[in-house]
Amino acid sequence: MIDKYIRDNGRLDRGRIAFDIIHRKIDRNAIEELVKYPEVISSFVDMGISYREPQNKWNKEYLNKLFDLSAIECFNRDFLLYLDEVAEYVNKSSSKKSSVKKGILGLIVIAVIIIIIIIIRGK
């Protein structure tokens, strides 16, 4: 598993790990396995999470900020697990919003069809 995240120069690709977390290619269990590797441990930066927002502010913009932080100032077990938590929440929220939009669009299409039928029958 770790081989996927090692660059040709032998260094860990922290950005790829964060990218895979955000895009749900790896989950909490995979993160827990990754952080056991010496290559990952030696790449840790900042042993805390300096940037936390309340859940009601978690959105794609915030997720992108966290991704940027993973490359420059925050990369450790706690941060990766937090990134996973935010990514899971944002992706679920996006899915729910998408479902609601599809439902509304479906109702609009049905209403237009009914209006067209009423107009055609009225002639």
109 in a structural domain: no
71 in a structural domain: yes
111 in a structural domain: no
**Tally of domains in the chain:** 1
- Quote the percentage of the chain above a pLDDT of 90: 53
Mean pLDDT, the chain, whole residue set: 86
Which structural domain range is residue 29 located in?
2-98
Provide the whole-model pTM: 0.72
91 in a structural domain: yes
Q: How far is residue 16's CA from residue 14's CA, in Å, rounded to a whole number?
A: 5
pLDDT at 39: 92
9 in a structural domain: yes
35 in a structural domain: yes
105 in a structural domain: no
Residue-wise pLDDT for 30-80, tens only, equals: 999 999 999 999 999 876 676 789 999 999 999 999 998 887 778 999 999
pLDDT at 47: 65
- Quote the percentage of the chain above a pLDDT of 70: 88
121 in a structural domain: no
91-109: average pLDDT: 70
Q: How far, CA to CA in Å, does 31 sit from each of 8, 24, 37, 69, 117?
A: 22, 11, 10, 17, 56
79, 70 in Cβ contact below 8 A? yes
